Amino acid sequence: MARPGWAPIGIALLLLSLAAAVLLRPAEDGLLQLANPRGERVAEVEQLFDSLPTDRALVLVGMDPDLGTYPEIRPATRAAFDDLLRRGARLAFVSYSAEGRAIAAAEMRRLLDDGALPGAVLDLGFVSGSEAGMVRSVTEILPSAAEGPLSEAIRAGGGGMTAFSLGVVVGGTEMNARSWVEQVGTRVPELPLLAIGPTFLQPELQPYLRSGQLAGLLATARDDAGYVAAVVDADPRVGPSVLEQPPSAAALLIGMLLALVVILVSLLRRTPDSGVAATDR
Amino acid sequence: MSGFAGDAPLDLAATWIAAAVTLVVLAYLFGERRLFRHAQHLLAGLATGYLVVIAMREVLVPRLIEPLATDPGGNVLLWAAAALVMALAAARWLPRSVVALPVAVLIAGTAAFALGGAVAGTLLPQLAASVLPADAPLIDLANGVLAMVITALVLVSFLHGIPRGRLVGGAAGVGRLLVLGGIGGWLGFLIVSRLVLLVDRLSFLINDWLRVSG
Distance from A220 to chain B by nearest Cα, in Å? 9
Distance from B36 to chain A by nearest Cα, in Å? 14
Interface with B, mutate which of A16, A29, A64, A72 (most B CBs under 10 A): A72
Domain boundaries of chain B, sorted by first residue: 134-214
| Edge-to-edge strand list for the sheet holding A121-126 | A121-126, A90-95, A58-64, A166-171, A193-196, A216-218
Check B2 against A244: CB less than 8 A apart: yes
Quote the mean pLDDT of chain B: 88
Q: Using an 8 Å Cβ cutoff, are A254 and A19 in contact?
A: yes
Same domain, A251 and A228: no
Mean pLDDT for the stretch of residues B93-115: 92
Which residue in chain A has the smallest CA separation from B131?
Answer: A211
Q: In this prediction, what percent of chain B has a pLDDT beyond 70?
A: 96
Distance from A172 to chain B by nearest Cα, in Å? 11
A3 band by pLDDT with thresholds 50, 70 and 90: low
The residues with which A168 forms a beta bridge, in sequence order, are: A61, A194
Q: With beta carbons under 8 A apart, name residues in chain A contacting B114.
A: 131
Q: Using an 8 Å Cβ cutoff, are B209 and B19 in contact?
A: yes
Q: With beta carbons under 8 A apart, name residues in chain B contacting A68.
A: 197
A166 lies in a domain? Answer: yes
Check A199 against B110: CB less than 8 A apart: no
Interface with B, mutate which of A182, A184, A196, A204 (most B CBs under 10 A): A182
DSSP B153-192: HHHHHT--SS---HHHHHHHHHHHHHHHHHHHHHHHHHHH
Same domain, A130 and A100: yes
Same domain, A212 and A112: yes
For the ranges A164-168, B30-34, B108-112, the maximum mean pLDDT occurs at A164-168
Angstrom distances, CA of residue B139 to CA of A262, A264, B147: 41, 40, 12
**Residue A241 above 60 pLDDT?**
no
Residue A200: which of B55, B118, B193 has the nearest Cβ?
B193
Decide: helix, strand or coil at residue A64. strand
Least trusted range by pLDDT, from A78-92, A94-108, B169-183, B186-200:
B186-200
The CB density around residue A230, as the number of other CB atoms within 10 Å, is: 18
Q: Using an 8 Å Cβ cutoff, are A1 and A250 in contact?
A: no
Mean pLDDT for the stretch of residues B86-95: 92
Distance from B38 to chain A by nearest Cα, in Å? 18
Compute φ and ψ for A27, nearest 5 degrees.
Answer: -65, -30
Taking the C-alpha atoms of residue A262 and residue B29, their distance in angstroms, rounded to an integer, is: 9
Taking the C-alpha atoms of residue A56 and residue B142, their distance in angstroms, rounded to an integer, is: 45
Interface with A, mutate which of B202, B207, B210 (most A CBs under 10 A): B202
Q: With beta carbons under 8 A apart, name residues in chain B contacting A132.
A: 109-110, 113
What is the model's pLDDT at position A37?
A: 56
Angstrom distances, CA of residue B152 to CA of A98, A206, A240: 40, 21, 49
A25 band by pLDDT with thresholds 50, 70 and 90: low
A82 lies in a domain? Answer: yes
- Beta strand pairing status for A121-126 and A90-95? parallel
Same domain, A113 and A208: yes
| Model confidence pTM above 0.95 | no
End-to-end Cα distance, chain B? 8
Which residue in chain A has the smallest CA separation from B117?
Answer: A182
CA-atom Rg of chain A in angstroms: 22
Specify the higher pLDDT residue, B205 or A187: A187
Q: Using an 8 Å Cβ cutoff, are A174 and A64 in contact?
A: yes
Q: With beta carbons under 8 A apart, name residues in chain A contacting B203.
A: 23, 247-248, 251
Same domain, A48 and A11: no
- Shortest CA distance to A201 belongs to which of A177, A223, A184? A177
Q: With beta carbons under 8 A apart, name residues in chain B contacting A199.
A: 189-190, 192-193, 196
Interface with B, mutate which of A186, A253, A265 (most B CBs under 10 A): A186
A79 lies in a domain? Answer: yes
DSSP state of A4: P
Check B3 against A78: CB less than 8 A apart: yes
Residue A221: which of B62, B121, B196 has the nearest Cβ?
B196
Q: Using an 8 Å Cβ cutoff, are A160 and A139 in contact?
A: yes
**Residue A279 above 50 pLDDT?**
no
Q: With beta carbons under 8 A apart, name residues in chain A contacting B62.
A: 143, 145
Domain that holds residue A6: 1-18+247-270
The residues with which A90 forms a beta bridge, in sequence order, are: A58
Least trusted range by pLDDT, from A123-137, A203-217, B149-163:
B149-163
Domain count, chain A: 2
CB pairs under 8 A between A and B: 142
End-to-end Cα distance, chain A? 7
Specify the higher pLDDT residue, A31 or B183: B183
A135 lies in a domain? Answer: yes
Check B113 against A132: CB less than 8 A apart: yes
CATH value at residue A159? 3.40.50
What confidence tens digit (pLDDT) does each residue in A116-168 have?
777 899 999 999 988 999 999 999 999 888 889 999 999 999 999 999 999 99
Check A130 against B117: CB less than 8 A apart: no
A59 lies in a domain? Answer: yes
Same domain, A153 and A209: yes
Same domain, A75 and A131: yes
DSSP B84-100: HHHHHHTTTTS-HHHHH
Residue A203: which of B29, B113, B186 has the nearest Cβ?
B186
